[in-house]
């Protein structure tokens, strides 16, 4: 079988791969996007249940999604205030959109809505569903579809598959298992959320309530054992535990949707194992959700890669791959370091660290400049506006 020539093959049509296909529009390159899941579970008309996780989009991601024509129909809930506190300790701070002169600090969207919106936007790339990359040797790429195998000879292959599986895990990288699981669920509280997000650090891990539609998207991090116990409780018992861990700031919790669990680890690639390939999004770095950075960072990977592709004649060359790696290094390092240190600092019952945390939150509360710095870092990343 002779291989089909294509400029860019994107393996993975999750939110980052789908965004990359849009960002490459108009650049004059032929693009194929291969997504392993079927169209039914990805298309805008999908009837299958989607991924339960909610994603907090930063304001900078909004700017990128607007340019990709994937923003206007996205059902989002704005975050105007973030309240940060620690369980069983003093110190708390409140970050407001006004601190950064922005209409919102971020926006909460359901993962599946985000993916649907990106896949529904007009795009000339050939988008294949039920199409899994099963082999890549640095030259040819094999994609298995329902109709049979297709072999491509891409000038550049982009891993957007969310995990290091497509290259058999050959790339040199780093993995740290946090021994934590994020339990996610939609919960309803007595009081309206008024666009306020809550982040509460507990010795077991952070607990976040993000304003979402008429309730909250809960992300409750704890040990895998405790998460399994919480997932198995009936709704009234689960809500009582949540009340215990979070307190009464949002009023009583009145209902909870289905719970889903995500094991958490830090994983990133140091370099690619094979020539003519790069990684974006979770394929490049998977982060703990504590700071809501994973997708936002991945979207900036896609945006930067598309910008560089537009300016090159040879997207798979070693010099191109090196320039992409260098262009993303600072932002990636900062995102990974910031998130990993937050997990270490706040998922800890050490009394001294507890005092330090309290003092840090208090200092942040009293110093508008520091608050503004932290907020802008979370919104725009280390490299500023896209
Ligand atoms: C509980 C939780 C909360 C989170 N909250 C936030 C948040 O608030 N803000 C934020 O920015 N980030 C958040 N994240 C991180 C965010 O979900 C990820 O960073 C984001 O989903 C990465 O998108 P992706 O497209 O790179 O990968 P994925 O979402 O994993 O998508 C990968 C896609 O590739 C496809 N695929 C896999 N293998 C193949 C193959 N061989 N061939 C073809 N296709 C393939 C899959 O079907 C999938 O569609 C959170 C994560 C978790 C677990």
Secondary structure, 3-state, 8-42: EEEECCCHHHHHHHHHCCCCCCCEEEEECCCHHHH
Chain centroid to CA 360: how far?
A: 26
45 — pLDDT class (breaks 50, 70, 90): very low
100: its two tokens? 């950064």
3: its two tokens? 């291989």
Element (H, E) at 185: strand 173-189
| Atom 27 in ligand 1: residue holding the nearest Cα | 162
Cβ of 208 closer than 6 Å to ligand 1, yes or no, is no
Cβ of 133 closer than 6 Å to ligand 1, yes or no, is yes
pLDDT of 89 strictly over 70: no
Q: Give 313-378 as a DSSP string.
A: S-TTSHHHHHHHHHHHHHHHHHHHHHHHHHHHHHS---HHHHHHHHHHHHHHHH-HHHHHHHHHHH
Cβ of 281 closer than 6 Å to ligand 1, yes or no, is yes
Ligand 1 centroid – CA 190 distance (Å): 32
pLDDT in tens, 64-83: 999 999 999 899 999 999 88
Instruction: Identify the residue with better confidence: 377 or 314.
Output: 314
CB atoms within 10 A of CB 32: 23
CA distance 250 to 355: 25
369 — pLDDT class (breaks 50, 70, 90): low
Angle (deg, nearest 10), helices 294-310 and 15-23: 30
Whole-number pLDDT of residue 54: 93
Q: Which atom of ligand 1 is nearest to the CA of 284?
A: 26
CB 148 within 8 A of CB 132: no
Whole-number pLDDT of residue 18: 97
Mean pLDDT for the stretch of residues 189-201 = 92
Q: Which atom of ligand 1 is nearest to the CA of 264?
A: 53
Cβ of 167 closer than 6 Å to ligand 1, yes or no, is no
Mean pLDDT for the stretch of residues 352-361 = 55
Ligand 1 centroid – CA 9 distance (Å): 18
Q: Which atom of ligand 1 is nearest to the CA of 262?
A: 53
Closest CA to 212 of 99, 107, 291: 107
pLDDT in tens, 97-106: 887 788 898 9
211 — pLDDT class (breaks 50, 70, 90): very high
Instruction: Identify the residue with better confidence: 92 or 15.
Output: 15
Cβ of 19 closer than 6 Å to ligand 1, yes or no, is no
Whole-number pLDDT of residue 273: 80
Whole-number pLDDT of residue 166: 44
Element (H, E) at 108: strand 106-110
Cβ of 197 closer than 6 Å to ligand 1, yes or no, is no
Whole-number pLDDT of residue 367: 57
Closest CA to 94 of 346, 302, 331, 372: 372
pLDDT of 24 strictly over 50: yes
Ligand 1 centroid – CA 353 distance (Å): 32
Mean pLDDT for the stretch of residues 20-27 = 96
Cβ of 14 closer than 6 Å to ligand 1, yes or no, is yes
Cβ of 65 closer than 6 Å to ligand 1, yes or no, is no
User: Ligand 1 pocket test: which of 48, 79, 159, 162 has the largest number of ligand atoms within 8 Å of its C-beta?
Assistant: 162
Strand 92-96, strand 81-86: pairing: antiparallel
| Atom 21 in ligand 1: residue holding the nearest Cα | 295
CA distance 87 to 384: 33
Q: Which atom of ligand 1 is nearest to the CA of 16?
A: 25
Q: How far is CA 48 from CA 45, 54, 260, in A?
A: 9, 17, 16
């Amino acid at each position: 079988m002779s291989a089909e020539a294509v400029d860019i093959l994107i393996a993975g049509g999750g939110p980052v791969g789908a965004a990359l296909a849009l960002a490459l529009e108009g650049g004059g390159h032929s693009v194929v996007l291969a997504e392993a899941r079927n169209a039914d579970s990805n298309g805008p008309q999908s009837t299958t249940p989607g991924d339960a996780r909610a994603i907090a989009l930063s304001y900078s991601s909004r700017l990128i999604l607007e340019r990709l024509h994937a923003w206007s129909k996205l059902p989002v809930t704005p975050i105007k205030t973030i309240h940060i506190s620690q369980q069983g300790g003093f110190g708390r701070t409140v970050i407001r959109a006004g601190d950064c002169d922005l209409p919102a600090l971020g926006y909460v969207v359901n993962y599946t809505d985000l993916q649907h919106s990106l896949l529904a936007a007009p795009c000339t790339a050939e988008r294949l569903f039920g199409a899994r990359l099963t082999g890549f040797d640095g030259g040819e790429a094999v994609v298995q579809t329902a109709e049979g195998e297709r072999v491509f000879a891409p000038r550049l292959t982009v891993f957007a598959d969310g995990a290091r599986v497509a290259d058999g895990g050959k790339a040199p990288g780093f993995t740290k298992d946090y021994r934590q699981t994020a339990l996610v669920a939609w919960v309803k509280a007595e009081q309206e959320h008024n666009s306020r997000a809550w982040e509460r650090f507990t010795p077991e891990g952070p607990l976040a309530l993000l304003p979402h539609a008429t309730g909250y998207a809960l992300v409750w991090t704890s040990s895998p054992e405790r998460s399994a116990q919480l997932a198995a409780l009936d709704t009234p018992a689960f809500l009582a535990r949540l009340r215990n861990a979070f307190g009464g700031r949002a009023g009583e919790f009145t209902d909870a949707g289905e719970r889903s669990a995500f094991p958490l680890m830090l994983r990133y690639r140091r370099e690619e194992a094979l020539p003519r390939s790069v990684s974006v999004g979770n394929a490049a770095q998977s982060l703990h959700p504590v700071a809501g950075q994973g997708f936002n960072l991945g979207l900036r990977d896609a945006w930067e890669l598309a910008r560089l592709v537009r300016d090159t004649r040879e997207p798979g060359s070693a010099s191109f791959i090196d320039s992409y790696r260098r262009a993303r290094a600072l932002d990636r390092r900062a995102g990974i370091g910031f998130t990993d240190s937050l997990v270490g600092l706040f998922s800890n019952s050490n009394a001294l660290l507890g005092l330090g945390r309290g003092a840090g939150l208090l200092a942040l509360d009293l110093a508008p400049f520091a608050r503004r710095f932290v907020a802008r870092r979370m919104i725009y990343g280390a490299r500023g506006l896209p």
